[in-house]
Each structure stands twice: as structure tokens, then as C-alpha cells.
Amino acid sequence: MSFFSSLVPDRKFEKYSDVTPEFLASEGISALLIDIDNTLAPYEQAEPDDTHFGWLKRLRESGVSCALISNNKPPRVERFARELGIPAYADCKKPKTEFLRRALAGLGVPPWRAAILGDQIFTDCLAARRLGMKAYIVPPIKDKKTLFFRFKRLLEKPFLRAGK
């Protein structure tokens, strides 16, 4: 796999809740590692809402194991985890893979049956690829407006365009 293709997501979705149990079943995916910031919620949203609860309930009822994998700090991540009732890993330092490995081990699912759902190519998608997981990407819910973030988004464009 070339460096370029390793950064192209397997699938793009409009929003996290478009990832359905039926789609995951058709892909042979039984575990979903989920990013929080800008994937599930914007930075300023401190707790999960009804859409999160409903979506996760449907996934889990269909046998999909879920965990949160965030580069953000423990207080925010633990609050989401506690309320949603799923395991969570804060400070993951994606694209590093150590915590993702731990998350998969905790769920008892091998990487080839697992996917990452996130909003960033150079953290979420790259981390997934390094472990041989599928990478599903959504557009950021509400991006930071700093120059650094805008630059990062610009660099992501060719990979996003190449994705399905």
C-alpha cells in the first residue's frame, strides 16, 4: 500500500449517525473505535445528547462493540464514557497506536474486524491503517478556526477527495 493510499479513508459519511449496524455488518465489522471531538460532538459540547444514546444503542443491540478513543484530556473523555456506558481511552496520541491496541484487546476484537470513526486524516485514518483497521471519516462538526487547523485541513483534501 502506498503512502498516499494509506491515508485515503475506506468510506466517508456525512455524519457519525450515518454509520449503521447494517453497513458495519456488510463490512464484517464488529467493533467501532470512535473519536469524540468534531466526530461525535463539537469541542464546546460537554456531554452526550439523545442522538448519541440512540445511535450507540442500535449499534450495541446489533452486536457491535464500541469504545471511545480520543486525544483529548481525561475529564472530557471520561464524562462521555460514563454517560454513554462504554469504555474510553483519553490522551490516545493518535496516530500512535498503543491505546487503540489496548481498546481492541479490551473489546476482544482483532483489528481486521474493527474500524475507526473519526474526522481527521493524519490522526484517525492513519492510526487505523497502521493497525490494519478500516477507517471511516466524517467532516468535522465545527472546526477550530486557527491557522494551524486550516492548514491541516488543506493538507487532508487530496486524501478525502480520493475516498468513497
Closest to Mg ion by CB, 30 vs 38, is 38
Min separation Cβ 119 and Mg ion, Å:
4
Min separation Cβ 61 and Mg ion, Å:
26
Closest to Mg ion by CB, 62 vs 150, is 150
Min separation Cβ 82 and Mg ion, Å:
20
Min separation Cβ 37 and Mg ion, Å:
4
The CA–CA distances, whole Å, from 126 to 19, 20, 36, 73, 147 equal 19, 23, 17, 21, 22
Chain residues that interact with Mg ion, rule: CB under 5 A? 35, 37-38, 119
Dist CA 43 CA 109 (whole Å): 29
The CA–CA distances, whole Å, from 86 to 24, 71, 101, 147 equal 18, 17, 16, 34
Relative to beta strand 134-137, strand 65-69 is unpaired
Min separation Cβ 140 and Mg ion, Å:
7
Long-range contacts from 44-48, C-beta under 8 angstroms, 24+ separation: 46/76, 46/79, 47/79, 47/80, 47/83, 48/80, 48/83, 48/84
Closest to Mg ion by CB, 119 vs 156, is 119
What single letter denotes the amino acid at residue 62? S
The SS3 of residue 116 is strand
Closest to Mg ion by CB, 38 vs 65, is 38
Closest to Mg ion by CB, 10 vs 37, is 37
